[in-house]
Amino acid sequence: MRPYNGRMFKKILVANRGEIALRVIEACREMGIRTVAVFSETDRNSLHVRLADEAYCIGPAPARQSYLNIAALMSTAEIAHAEAIHPGYGFLAEDPHFVEVCEESKVVFVGPRHETMIQSGKKLECKKAVSAAGVPIVPGSGALKTEEELLSEARKLGFPLIFKASAGGGGRGMRVVQNEPELLEKFHAVKREAEAAFGDPTVFLEKYIPVARHVEVQILADMHGHVVHWGERECSIQRRYQKLIEESSAPALTKEMREAIWAAAVKAAEVLGYQNAGTVEFLVDESNFYMIEINARIQVEHPVSEMRVGKNLIQEQIRVAAGEKLGYAQKDIKLKGHAIECRLNAEDPSKNFAPSTGRIEIKSLPGGNGVRFDSHIFSGMDVTPFYDSLLAKLVVHAEDRPMAIAKMGNALKRFQIEGIKTTAPLCYEILQHPNFISGNFNTRFLEKNLPGA
């Protein structure tokens, strides 16, 4: 990431689609920045296309021929005279090669530097760097090349274990191993999966912590050495490592552990020389916490942090990318109230979360005080099988957690669309469950409490 001559951008290309593209466009409009949308042929009538100042088709529906086409994106940036590119999340948001191409083309990438992205994307390198600085990590192996190394490391660590892809993310390239007979089969399977998904077959082992919470910390860093956090988020309500509900603050954390996790996240960002927005992820058991990775991009669930801090994280990203200082210290950030986000996906939970496609007809949408609906849907929109199933992020903010849960329940009831199935009813069921209400849950919530989901 390079500063833009100490002045704000005039035009930014948004290298994404859906609700995150809309968020960036709206954030730019509030800052007086013109926007350039890109779209595939199937997205020609999408909201982000209609609301941007300019829009260009970059290819057919398959993502590899459009939203993942670096040459098409860079050509569009040149034609439109865009000074910066915001990648959103997904697609090329964590592709260090794309960042390097932007830097070589003198187009500012709104995100971390490509060197930092390479280091944070390679989990083994990242773990080594932060561990040396005193940040606790899950005990694990190095890169596993042979079956002999695998057996030696597994016996040393003890079962249960989990395989992880060094270049992995989004839950891919991960397999739990309960005993030695499973080792070899899953070792080769996860290597194949890692190679197919990330182009890198490097895998490693970690001690598997079966009863843990997934807690992450939002950090923000400028180019002048200032790093702050925006509090933590609880992300334990998930299915197959895919998050469904997030909230802030995280219930059941002691004050001491909460502050220690914040400090560890800031330390990790400092060690990596991090710039822009990022998320440091942790596993938390009854008495310990362990950093597992850093996501070098804006997260889907960033609105829960925004609601508590009262700032626009997309706009903060843009300011930092333009070379501005943060302009505030940690003591100036006040975390207020409680926020919850539900991901409303075009999936059918009753059919093992099978993708649901069709034409949307909107009957009712949520609203009201403290309710935020981030979405790109409209009546008559066709949900296609080409992209991520996320339709909307429903976010509420209230004085405390019980009030936030009640408010989210009301908001989910008001979300009524026809034509496709969504995860909204499942989210409502989760929010009414006594173990969710009590805060007594971990990453195995669904399999323990709603095994049919």
Q: pLDDT tens, 282-329? A: 999 988 999 988 999 999 999 999 999 999 999 999 999 999 999 999
Question: Rounded to whole angstroms, how far apart are CA atoms 204 and 194?
Answer: 11
| DSSP assignments along 142-207, one per residue | ----SHHHHHHHHHHH-SSEEEEETT--TTTTEEEE-SGGGHHHHHHHHHHHHHHHHS---EEEEE
Write down the catalytic residue from 297, 308, 343, 372: 297
pLDDT at 401: 98
Dihedral angle computed from the Cα positions of residues 75, 77, 81 and 87, in that order, rounded to the nearest 10 degrees: -170
Q: Name every residue whose Cβ is closer than 8 Å to that of residue 411 and which is 6 or more positions away in sequence.
A: 366, 368, 371, 373, 394, 396
Task: State the amino acid at position 332 in one-letter form.
Answer: D
Residues of the chain short of pLDDT 70, as ranges, are 1-6, 169-171
Helix axes 18-30 and 313-321, enclosed angle (nearest 10) = 70
Residue 429 tokens, joined: 């069921």
Closest CA to 314 of 258, 378, 376, 230: 230
CATH code for the structural domain at 11-110: 3.40.50.20
Question: Rounded to whole angstroms, how far apart are CA atoms 445 and 199?
Answer: 32
So what's the architecture of 213-449 in CATH? 2-Layer Sandwich (3.30)
Cα separations in angstroms, 243 against 73, 233, 247, 440: 29, 12, 11, 17
The CATH fold assigned to 139-207 is Dna Ligase; domain 1 (3.30.1490)
SS3 273: coil
pLDDT at 287: 87
Measured from the Cβ of residue 50, the count of other Cβ atoms closer than 10 Å reads 13
Q: Do 245 and 340 form a contact (C-beta atoms < 8 A)? A: yes
- Domain residues of the chain, as ranges? 11-110, 139-207, 213-449
pLDDT at 123: 80
| pTM (predicted TM-score) | 0.92
Question: Rounded to whole angstroms, how far apart are CA atoms 194 and 178?
Answer: 20
Question: Rounded to whole angstroms, how far apart are CA atoms 274 and 315?
Answer: 18
297 is catalytic: yes
Measured from the Cβ of residue 32, the count of other Cβ atoms closer than 10 Å reads 9
pLDDT in tens, 148-173: 999 999 999 999 999 998 877 666 77
Closest CA to 37 of 60, 10, 63, 16: 16
b/e code 410-422 from CB counts within 10 Å (16+ = b) = ebbebbebebbbb
pLDDT at 316: 98
Q: Do 31 and 49 form a contact (C-beta atoms < 8 A)? A: no
